[in-house]
Amino acid sequence: MITVGIDIGSITTKIALMEGKKLLYTDVSLSGYDMEKAWQAIYKKMLERTGKKESDISFLVSTGYGRNNVSISQKKITEISCHAAGAKYFFPKVKAVIDIGGQDSKFIRIDDTGSILDFVMNDKCAAGTGRFLEVMARALHVEIDDFSTLSGKSKKPVTISSMCTVFAESEVISLIAKGENRENIIAGIHDSIASRMISMMKRTGVASPVVMTGGVSKNIGMRKAIEKKIGMTLNVPEQAQVCGAIGAAILGSG
């Protein structure tokens, strides 16, 4: 049975194609303004690259912020269920999932049977999300992909105390003006996101193993900041960014 999962996030669109339990194809592209176009393009590319025909696909599930825009979707499932299913695919014993996405961050608790026990998400403010990192990268004139390497060079992370993205940006600009070095600021930014994540996690209780999914998991500095605060190692699947789409494809197979 061939199933497809499409995860339309606020920043990126992800797709996964599975045959039974075997992951055959994944891809990531920018969501842009037109979500309809975004999924159509990534879907068409998948068909071309894999040589599959639409009629080969038994079930298609959409998830993510833009899931309702996928007109060919046979089922729409929220990101919480899909990320949990995706994390479980890579780490069957998973008990908790951290996902830091473009506009929200989530912490999901899973019980022994693999069912979702509870979840918490960030409040309305963008602080603690991928968007927060983007704003900070812009303020620091650094590519977001370099955050990881730069934070690793930090000797003394600064403390970013503002909880709001806009205020934190001006706090960062003030630190730059004061001559604070970039590495320490970036490490401080990671610490501040990690702190927000921890307070969210404490609301439901932490259990291991913890899996981190979502694009931000590629950032080793961010991962280390969270690991340091929770005192546990995070498990990060190779396909972490596509976990939601993979979970959607899995849930599509019933």
Partner 1 sequence: MRLFAYYDTGHEFSEEIVMAAGFTPYKILGDVNVPNDPADRYVHNYICPFSRSCLTEGMARSDEWAGIAFCHGCDTTNNQYDIWKHHVKTDFLYWINTPAKNDATARAYHEHELRRFISHMEKHYRVDITDDKLSEAIRTSNSVKRLMQELAKLRPVKDIPNDAYHAITRKCVQMHKDDLIAALEKTLEEWKNRPAFPSDCLPVLLTGSDMTYPEGMDILEAAKLRAVRDDLSLGERYFAETISEEGDPVKALVDYHARIPMPPTKIPFEARLVYLRKCLKETNVKGIVYQILKFCEPHGLDLPYMAGELKKDGHRLIVIEREYTPTIDQQLVSRLESFREII
Q: Can you tell me which of 36, 54, 56, 123 binds partner 1, judged by CB under 8 A?
A: 123
- Which 160-219 residues touch partner 1, going by CB under 8 A? 203
Q: How far is the CB of 120 from partner 1 (least distance, A)?
A: 7
Q: Is 124 in the site for partner 1 (CB under 8 A)?
A: yes
Q: How far is the CB of 116 from partner 1 (least distance, A)?
A: 4
Q: Is 22 in the site for partner 1 (CB under 8 A)?
A: no
# of chain residues touching partner 1 (CB under 8 A): 18
Kindly give the residue spans of alpha helices, DSSP state H, lying in 91-181. Answer: 130-140, 147-152, 165-177
- Which 56-85 residues touch partner 1, going by CB under 8 A? 65, 77-81
Q: Is 7 in the site for partner 1 (CB under 8 A)?
A: no
C-beta atoms surrounding 117 within 10 Å: 16
Q: How far is the CB of 252 from partner 1 (least distance, A)?
A: 15
Inter-residue long-range contacts of 225-234, CB under 8 Å, 24+ positions, other chains counted: 225/151, 225/187, 225/190, 225/191, 225/193, 225/194, 226/98, 226/194, 226/197, 226/198, 228/194, 229/194, 229/195, 229/197, 229/198, 230/198, 230/201, 230/206, 232/206, 232/208, 234/98, 234/210
Query: Whose Cβ is closer to partner 1: residue 58's or residue 78's?
Result: 78
Where do contacts with partner 1 occur on this chain (CB under 8 A)? 65, 77-81, 103-104, 115-121, 123-124, 203
